[in-house]
Amino acid sequence: MTSNTFSKYNLDFADTMATKLRLNREKLKQAQTVDEKINQLTPEQREQIGEFRLSIIREGLKEFPGLDPMEALQMLDEFGG
């Protein structure tokens, strides 16, 4: 009869692969240009942000390439922008 439990090796391997995939996604996200990040926003997100704040976010992304546009929006909201 087979067991449904995984060996420690299999669990460690799965955790390692999940970490590798997460790091690769983060690296690719940081390598994106500002325009690529802005273009990934949905029309609803663009409307929520507005053109003025989107221009501020675009400048912020140029200075801080690892920043996500929605994180930048949250920061603007926290500072009252």
Per-residue model confidence as pLDDT tens digits over 10-60: 999 999 999 999 999 888 777 778 888 888 889 999 998 899 999 999 998
- In the chain, where the domains are located: 8-79
Per-residue model confidence as pLDDT tens digits over 4-17: 678 999 999 999 99
User: Which ranges of 1-81 would DSSP assign to H, the alpha helix?
Assistant: 8-31, 34-39, 43-49, 51-63, 69-79
Q: Residue 1 above 60 pLDDT?
A: no
Q: Which of 6, 67, 11, 78 is nearest to 34 (CA)?
A: 67
Q: How many Å apart are CA 6 and CA 49, to the nearest integer?
A: 46
